[in-house]
Amino acid sequence: MIDFSSKKRNPYDNYYILPENNLAYNFFSHLRERFLDSGFQGYLDKQKNPVQKVLSSTNSNATFLIISPNYGVEIYNTLVTKGISKKQIFFVDENSFATTDSITWYLTTRAARRFFVSLSQPRYNISRIRFWLAVRFGVRYLRNEKRLSLLKNKHYGRRAFLIGNGPSLRVSDLSLLEGEVTFASNKIYLAFGSTSWRPTYYCVEDDQVFLQNYTDIHCLSDVVKLVSNSLLQFGPPINDAIYFNHRWHSFFPGLPDFSVDPFEGVYWGSTITYTMVQLALYMGIKEIYLLGIDFKFEVPESSAHTDQLILSVGEQNHFHQDYRKKGERWNKPNLHMQRQSFKRVMQFCETNDIKIYNLSRQTELDLIPLQELQKVMPIDSE
């Protein structure tokens, strides 16, 4: 693990950043503010500036910095296949430069990863230390952490509905969920004009959703907003939001880490549903129902080979026709990675006696037992 303050190694003397996306731009801005941009050789991206174009001019001391939650492992494998030494490749943690003055660079060696994991254990967690100081010595407790702590086991023993935004979701379904504990995300608020239902918890972690809809999210009322702390780099803090410690690492083809303690960290799983499951279990939920999780996306042909950002051409992947308008940017979903995340969910639920069902009318997600919404929430025939 190498920090900015390290004088033993300067990975920013001669470096490339991969791929070219908003995270990369923010990362480079952070470097430039610290006068670490002189060694920047450019962004590498499958479409704009492929790796093979620079290999002939790259010397053996060049460093390749990967900052891509969805496709980090694929980019890493591509670099290795092209002959780049593993010692030249680093993963960058987006959270480390979102809220602090330092950047952590993770070596891709197995030993370094084990070392990083050991430092990430709860006994080193700053949030836990602050919590202990507050209780033991009466130190003023941060408002965000206090609000987060009050959610622990708030709905113990209850069931919860986790709402996706797939085309199979109907606004009439939402009306059936009045009075239930519900989690929803992203642009679910497009349904609010047609129903009095509001989710108990509104969640967001996607940078493009947050960037392009900040005002709408900021103005949401009558919901508890649960927001990834990684989004602090993309806009001013939302005063009535509760920020959770969001942690990601490239896990594919393995399974992601899983936590029911947001003070340790909520682990990224390439889908907001994975985050919502962890938060629901932290609140004591014992029975989970998924709805509107179609697990299928139409990607424009022009973006089929893009690493990450897609420019919408009007494709319909959601319950509302205006969910994603032409020209809007969105992150390319990685269904292979998401599938691994749902495997981890099933593994945890089976081990811990948590019931989980998929109520989605149309779904390609066959890992979770299917059940009909009408059997769980009978429709009044009167």
Q: Tell me the C-alpha distance between 164 and 218, whole Å.
A: 20
In this structure, the number of other CB atoms found within 10 A of the CB of residue 365 comes to 20
327 phi and psi angles, rounded to 5 deg:
90, -10
Alpha-carbon distance of 289 to 183, in angstroms, equals 10
Are β-strands 246-247 and 241-244 bridged in parallel, bridged antiparallel, or unpaired? unpaired
Closest CA to 202 of 215, 214, 220, 190: 220
Cα three-residue angle 85-88-91, rounded to 5 degrees = 120
| CA–CA distances in Å: residue 191 to residues 179, 196, 292 | 17, 9, 13
Amino acid at 57: S
CA 28 – CA 94 distance, rounded (Å): 11
Task: Check: pTM over 0.85? Answer yes or no.
Answer: no
Return the amino acid letter for 35.
Answer: F
pLDDT given at position 43 = 86
Give residue limits of the domains in the chain. 15-119, 121-147, 151-376
Alpha carbon dihedral 52, 53, 59, 61, in 10-degree steps, equals -70
Specify the residue for token string 């680093």.
Answer: 90
What would the two tokens of residue 83 be?
A: 């002959």
Q: By C-alpha distance, which of 222, 157, 143, 240 is closest to 184?
A: 222
- Class for the domain spanning 151-376: alpha beta
Q: What is the pLDDT along the chain (382 residues), one digit of tens a residue?
A: 334 344 344 555 688 888 887 778 877 777 776 666 677 888 888 766 666 666 655 556 788 888 877 777 778 888 888 888 877 887 776 555 544 334 444 334 444 444 333 433 433 344 444 444 444 444 444 678 889 999 999 999 999 999 999 999 999 999 999 999 999 999 999 999 999 999 999 999 999 999 999 999 999 999 999 999 888 878 888 989 999 988 877 677 789 999 999 988 899 999 999 999 999 999 999 999 999 999 998 887 766 666 667 888 888 899 999 999 888 888 888 899 999 999 999 999 999 999 999 999 999 999 999 999 999 987 654 3
304-330 in b/e form (b: 16+ CB < 10 A) is: eebbbbbebeebebbbbeebbeeebbb
- Give yes or no for a contact between 76 and 66, defined as CB atoms under 8 angstroms apart: yes
Q: How far is CA 316 from CA 143, 274, 322, 376, in A?
A: 40, 23, 9, 28
Give yes or no on whether 15-119 and 151-376 have one common fold.
no
Calculate the alpha carbon distances from 360 to 170, 189, 232, 295, 366 in Å.
10, 19, 32, 10, 11
Fold of 15-119: Rossmann fold (3.40.50)
What lies within 8 Å, CB to CB, of 308 at 6+ separation is: 19, 21, 68, 70, 71, 331, 332
- Rounded-to-integer distance, Cα 99 and Cα 129, Å: 18
Residue 60: per-residue pLDDT: 61
Beta bridge partners of 134: none
Residues belonging to the chain = 382
